[in-house]
């Protein structure tokens, strides 16, 4: 077999990582006079790296982030200096998942809650965990659809097993009458088994009015906050700051 034929054979065997780097690795091996075992070891490492990259890509896609490129590197913690960044970076390590702990991000709109939780989700995916991201109204719509088509139990079991479920923007949109019961059932299924991160622009003492069921909300919060990391975001809003800057620029024009 020549080099081209070997490359084709590798791809047929599902070894595209090896095939992609084969020619360059051969040149490196000749230049460095690598022994066969070292040469093979490098090729195997190329294949493992390629497969790891593909797995991460699939898991990021499966998570369904609204903004999949959000990271802690491009978040400006100095804009709201009182935010407890140490909790955020601790969550990004993923250690809370091993303990089935939860987290709650609260603060006004525009203060970075969604950015932070998606960045944390991406970080833990890179560490090998699976994540599901849903905006609160989307999650409740999916539960309602599953209830109508008779797959509610299967849907809840599937969501129950995800190591990290991120429920974003609770309180941003009007929710159905069953919202409190649906969220409570899901949180109860996940309690002390898997981890949940929830963001809201409403303080918890308003959730009873928001969801329309004070008893269910009390039970939900009792479980969610039992092993929870709480992050207060704000008070300044990036979007309001941006609008102010735009107005100032127009006034100067």
Instruction: For 162, list phi and psi in degrees, rounded to 5.
Output: -65, 125
Given a cut of 60, whether residue 59 has pLDDT beyond it is: yes
Residue pLDDT, tens place only, 158-209: 999 999 999 999 988 888 999 999 999 999 999 999 999 999 999 999 999 8
Rounded to whole angstroms, the Cα distance separating 121 from 93 reads 10
Q: Which residues, other chains included, contact 144 with Cβ-Cβ below 8 Å and sequence gap of 6+?
A: 176, 178, 182
- At the fourth CATH level, the homologous superfamily of domain 72-240 is P-loop containing nucleotide triphosphate hydrolases (3.40.50.300)
Helix (H, G, I), strand (E, B) or coil at 34: coil
For residue 241, the model assigns a pLDDT of 55
For residue 251, the model assigns a pLDDT of 46
**Cβ neighbours, 10 Å, residue 145:** 12
For residue 246, the model assigns a pLDDT of 44
For residue 79, the model assigns a pLDDT of 87
Given a cut of 60, whether residue 244 has pLDDT beyond it is: no
Percent of the chain with pLDDT over 70: 94
Q: Where are the domains of the chain?
A: 3-62, 72-240
Strands of the chain, DSSP E:
102-106, 131-135, 164-170, 195-200, 228-232
> What is the residue whose two structure tokens read 């590798």?
10
For residue 236, the model assigns a pLDDT of 77
Sheet containing strand 164-170, edge to edge, reads 131-135, 164-170, 195-200, 102-106, 228-232
- pLDDT band at 253; cut points 50, 70, 90: low
| Average of per-residue pLDDT values in the chain | 89
Given a cut of 80, whether residue 232 has pLDDT beyond it is: yes
């Amino acid at each position: 077999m020549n080099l081209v034929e070997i490359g084709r054979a590798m791809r047929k065997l599902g070894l595209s990582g090896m095939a992609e780097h084969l020619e360059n690795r051969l040149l490196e091996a000749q230049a460095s006079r690598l022994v066969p075992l070292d040469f093979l070891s490098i090729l195997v490492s190329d294949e493992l790296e390629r497969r790891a990259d593909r797995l991460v890509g699939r898991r990021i896609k499966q998570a369904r982030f609204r903004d999949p490129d959000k990271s802690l590197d491009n978040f400006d913690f100095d804009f709201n200096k009182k935010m407890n960044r140490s909790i955020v970076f601790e969550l990004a390590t993923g250690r809370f998942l091993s303990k089935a702990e939860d987290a709650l991000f609260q603060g006004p709109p525009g203060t970075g809650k969604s950015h932070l939780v998606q960045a944390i989700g991406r970080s833990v995916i890179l560490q090998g965990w699976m994540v599901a991201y849903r905006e609160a109204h989307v999650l409740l719509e999916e539960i309602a659809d599953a209830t109508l088509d008779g797959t509610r139990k299967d849907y809840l079991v599937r969501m129950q097993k995800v190591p990290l479920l991120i429920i974003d923007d609770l309180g941003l949109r009007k929710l159905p009458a069953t919202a409190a019961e649906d969220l409570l059932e899901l949180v109860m299924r996940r309690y002390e088994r898997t981890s949940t991160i929830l963001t809201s622009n409403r303080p918890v003492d308003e959730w009873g009015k928001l969801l329309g069921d004070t008893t269910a909300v009390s039970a939900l919060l009792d479980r969610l906050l039992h092993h929870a990391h709480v992050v207060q975001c704000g008070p300044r809003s990036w979007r309001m700051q941006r609008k102010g800057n735009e107005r100032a620029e127009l006034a100067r024009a």
